[in-house]
Structure 1
Amino acid sequence: MVHFASLIILNIFLILLLKKVDALQYPSVRQTGVNQCPNPNNNACAFVDCENSGTCIEDPTTIDCFKCQCTPGYTGRICETQIPILPIKCNLVCENGGTCIGNGAGYLCKCAAGWSGTYCQIKEISSVCSSNPCKHGGTCVPIGISYSCFCGTASIYTGKNCDSTTPMTTDECPLNCAPGHCIFSGNAQKPYACLWNGVMRPTDGTTG
């Protein structure tokens, strides 16, 4: 009697094993209706490994008696197929040569060298003076996202980039430099000076 019972258990095990092999070998088999599982109490998940961290759930409404609940990004009968990440259309306006890039997770601006920020709108301080904008020996000093050129105390050059010898107008310079002309001194506290015949004069405009 015990031997006969063992044979029955062995036959049931073989049937379940063959069903697992058959289900995995023929992926075209799908849910076709209600109560399609031939053996609803066969503990089907004991014989199934859902891939990519999927979770097996016994389901008597499927021909295989189970279904795999897949993690995000995967699909398929046993979660064997990765869902491709499709590019999305960028809707950012990237400035200063930046390029909008994106994927299924979002989009951003890839900035050109020397620029940063969400829209590449911020000029990096370290690169403000990298192009050496100050001419004729002027010194470039970063100021926020811009710069200032100190042309030197004895320089005859003036202007934003030390590239001009044109005297400043009265509106630009508060000093009375006649008969000389006003220049940038290179001194942050006293930024203007008078130059006359190549000689720097005191910043009050006198010659004494």
Structure 2
Amino acid sequence: MIRTYVILTILCLYQIYTSFGQDCPSKQELQSALRQVHKLLSAHETSYLQSIRSLRKKLNLLQSAAARQNTKASNGTCPKLEVPNNGKKLGKVLAVGHEVHFLCEPGYELVGSESRVCQESLSWSGQQSSCRNINECSSTPCLNGGTCVDDVSRFLCTCAKGWTGATCQTPVLTFFTVVTNASTSTSTSSPSVSPSALPSSPFMHPSRCTQFLGSTRCSCEAGFTISGRDSNLCIDIDECEVFHMGQAGRLCVHNCVNTPGGYRCTCPPGYNLTRDSRNCKDIDECETRQHNCTREQICVNTYGGFQCVRVECPRIRNATYVKTSPVRCERNPCPVDNKACSQAPNSVSFHYLSVVSNMSAPRVLFRVSAIRVLGDTLRFGLLGSRGRRHFTVQRSGRQTGQLLLVSPVQGPATLEAEVEMSELERRATLGRYITKVTLFVSPYGF
């Protein structure tokens, strides 16, 4: 390029001289012209080099800015999530890939996502979480025409006439025997049967009789009725038998025990009565520390009891695992030439669920999700399981699969299922992740 420029310059000088009719320049003139050309070329070369340096500097600045932006993105955090009113937030780390969980206080239900993950876009997955007051009156707990008033974590029943109790479940019964015949009245009201002659039992006692205008009226306390044979005798009403089924279902969800003048509901071991004295609520032995699990074991609360489980990492030939959490094992890095190790699961997670007997199906039990996908395909499948006919696995999203219970299970029973999530690139496996789900089925259906 420079040689061409020199030749063009010399030709230009030659044209200048010839255009004025002058002879060819002398040697000194030619050398002077060449020196001028050299200076001109040096100036252009300096300008060219300065332009190159300026362009290179700009490119370096652009590269540095891009690197800083990438570093900021990789080290960035998601915005802080607020604790919902009447609830709790579990998890403080706001970095990419970390989860935050939400719980509500008793008497409130969660609206929105129970768990949210910080995504690479520095935004949270799922919906905003809040705690909404549970309407305890929605299940119509007040029986026999009672009116329900909702309150925080409880309800109050205003009972109709003739009924009492927390859910208006106990009848207030007073029976009268009216004898209008004076002679009959005299015979029935006279102490023909003395109180000492009446049977001695808490389930029967003498009636209260009064005479008015030639007739006798006998009455009993609530929960008793006049004996069909003798108006002087009150016998207990067996509410468990008479009112076994009411407008809102069974009088007692589990078991009814008749008592003198009333009744009481009982629950199986591991349950307590709820405030309505009719339903049963499971006792969380793990939370209340009413268990005998060792430090090496995990306490899993079940309906009516608890289970002590011990998580052990799998023993697979040519692969080793380390426990990264109480319920998760990660595979150690594999040697480059160890193909058998690379085909072993990258991680194995353990999860334990408790359900009631004969729970309605189909029902989603568990979801498995990938935060990010390396390959072009994500596949979900069901491996070996105890009670396989009760389970199936299906995809519920681009990066999520779910384990379903497809048929009811009669308790007590323990079922196991292994859900596999595989990442593939052009049908070649990049990674395998196993989730072992253990299902403890209670013998009771409430």
- Scaled to the shorter chain, the TM-score interval is 0.3 to 0.5
Q: Which has the larger radius of gyration?
A: 2
* TM-score, normalising length: structure 1: 0.35
Higher share of residues assigned strand: 2
TM-score, structure 2 length as denominator? 0.20
